[in-house]
Amino acid sequence: MRTVLDYLDRTAAAFPEKVSFKDEKTSLTFAQLREQALRGGSALLKDGIVREPVAVYMSKTPDEIAAFMAVLETGSFYVPIDDEMPQMRIRLIFENLKPRAVICDEGTRESALELADGAKVYTWSKIRTEASDEEALAKVRASMIDTDPCYIMYTSGSTGIPKGVAVCHRSLIDYTESFCDVMKFDEDTVFGSQTPFYFDASLKDIYPTIKIGCETVIVPHTLFMFPLKLVEFLNEYRINTLCWVVSALTMISAFGALDEVLPKYLKIVGFGGEVFPIKQYRKWKKALPDVRYINLYGPTETTGVSMYYEVDRDFEDDDVIPLGRPFENVDIFLLNENNKEADEGEICMRGTCVTLGYYQDPERTSAAFVQNPLNDRYPEIIYRTGDIARRNDRGELVFVSRKDFQIKHMGHRVELGEIECDVNSVSGIVNSCAVYLKKKDRIELYYEGRVDEKELLAYLKEKLPRYMVPTKVHKLDKLPLTPNGKTDRKGLTALSEGK
Amino acid sequence: MDELIEILKDLHSDVDFDTCTTLIDDKILDSFDIVSIVSEVNDRFDVAIPAKELVPENFNSAKALWDLITRLEED
CA gap A166, A149 in Å, rounded: 6
Residue of A nearest to B11 (CA): A471
Which residue among B14, B36, B55 sits closest to A226, beta carbon to beta carbon?
B55
What pLDDT score was predicted for residue A499? 65
Chain B CB contacts of A225 under 8 Å are 24, 29-31, 34, 54, 56, 59
The answer as to whether A372 is a domain residue is no
Chain B CB contacts of A410 under 8 Å are 32
* Short-list A358, A331, A363, CA closest to A347: A331
Chain-centre distance for alpha carbon A111:
23
Domain total of chain B: 1
State how far residue B25 is from chain A, nearest Cα, in angstroms. Answer: 10
Chain B CB contacts of A440 under 8 Å are 39
Query: Residue A454: CB partners within 8 Å, gap ≥ 6?
Result: B13
Is A42 in contact with A60 (CB distance < 8 Å)?
A: no
CA gap A231, A258 in Å, rounded: 9
Chain A CB contacts of B22 under 8 Å are none
| Contact across the interface for B32 and A467, Cβ inside 8 Å | yes
Average per-residue pLDDT for chain B = 90
Residue ending a domain, among A96, A120, A144, is A144
| Contact across the interface for B29 and A227, Cβ inside 8 Å | no
Q: Which residues pair with A54 in a beta bridge?
A: A78, A101
| Contact across the interface for B56 and A226, Cβ inside 8 Å | yes
Chain A CB contacts of B6 under 8 Å are none
Domain coverage including residue A90: 1-144
Is A86 in contact with A464 (CB distance < 8 Å)?
A: yes
DSSP letters of A3-21? STHHHHHHHHHH-TTSEEE
Is A29 in contact with A17 (CB distance < 8 Å)?
A: yes
Q: What is the CATH number of the domain that holds A431?
A: 3.30.300.30
* Short-list A335, A340, A436, A352, CA closest to A389: A335
Report the C-alpha dihedral over residues A206, A4, A272, A311, rounded to 10 degrees. Answer: 100
| Contact across the interface for A228 and B55, Cβ inside 8 Å | yes
Range A194-207 burial, b when 16+ CB lie within 10 A, else e:
bbbbbbbbbbbbbb
Residue ending a domain, among A144, A178, A203, is A144
What pLDDT score was predicted for residue B71? 94
The answer as to whether A234 is a domain residue is no
In A352-466, the DSSP E strands lie at 357-358, 369-371, 381-391, 397-402, 406-409, 412-415, 429-437, 442-449
The answer as to whether A13 is a domain residue is yes
CA gap A434, A487 in Å, rounded: 10
Q: Are strands A344-351 and A381-391 parallel, antiparallel or unpaired?
A: antiparallel
Residues present in chain A in total: 499
Residue of B nearest to A225 (CA): B31
CA gap A279, B59 in Å, rounded: 27
* Short-list A203, A267, A266, A186, CA closest to A15: A186
DSSP 3-state of A494: helix
Q: Which residues pair with A408 in a beta bridge?
A: A413
CA gap A113, A137 in Å, rounded: 27
- The single-letter DSSP state of residue A178 is H
Backbone phi, then psi, for A75, in 5-degree steps? 75, 5
* Short-list A479, A496, A363, CA closest to A432: A479
Chain B CB contacts of A226 under 8 Å are 54-56
B6-14 long-range Cβ contacts below 8 angstroms, 24+ apart:
B7/B37, B7/B40, B7/B41, B7/B44, B8/B37, B8/B62, B10/A472, B11/B36, B11/B37, B13/A454, B13/A457, B13/A458, B14/A458
Chain-centre distance for alpha carbon A121:
25
How buried is A403 (Cβ within 10 angstroms: 0-12 exposed, 13-18 middle, 19+ buried)? Answer: middle
CA gap A437, A70 in Å, rounded: 43
State how far residue A271 is from chain B, nearest Cα, in angstroms. Answer: 19
| Contact across the interface for B52 and A454, Cβ inside 8 Å | no
Q: What is the CATH number of the domain that holds B26?
A: 1.10.1200.10
| pTM of this structure | 0.91
The answer as to whether A197 is a domain residue is no
Chain B CB contacts of A222 under 8 Å are 24, 27, 31
DSSP letters of A65-115? HHHHHHHHHTT-EEEEEETTS-HHHHHHHHHHH--SEEEE-TTTHHHHHHH
Domain coverage including residue B46: 2-74
* Short-list A278, A252, A247, CA closest to A263: A252
DSSP 3-state of A302: helix
Q: Which 454-493 residues of chain A touch chain B by CB within 8 A?
A: 454, 457-458, 466-467, 471-472
Residue of A nearest to B8 (CA): A471
Chain A CB contacts of B14 under 8 Å are 458
- The single-letter DSSP state of residue A211 is I
A84 touches chain B (CB under 8 A): no
Domain total of chain A: 2
CA gap A203, A206 in Å, rounded: 5
Reduced to 3 DSSP states, what percent helix, strand and coil does chain B have, rounded to the nearest 5? 60, 0, 40
Mean pLDDT of each 10-residue bin along chain A, 499 residues long: 97 98 98 98 98 97 98 98 88 95 97 94 97 97 98 87 96 98 98 95 97 98 92 98 93 91 97 87 96 96 96 87 95 96 96 98 96 97 95 92 84 87 88 88 91 90 89 91 83 86
| Contact across the interface for B30 and A225, Cβ inside 8 Å | yes
What pLDDT score was predicted for residue A374? 97
Chain A CB contacts of B42 under 8 Å are none
Residue of A nearest to B39 (CA): A440
Under an 8 Å CB criterion, which residues of B touch A? Answer: 10, 13-14, 24, 27, 29-32, 34-36, 38-39, 49-52, 54-56, 59
Residue ending a domain, among A113, A144, A175, is A144
Q: Which 246-305 residues of chain A touch chain B by CB within 8 A?
A: 251, 255-257, 259-260
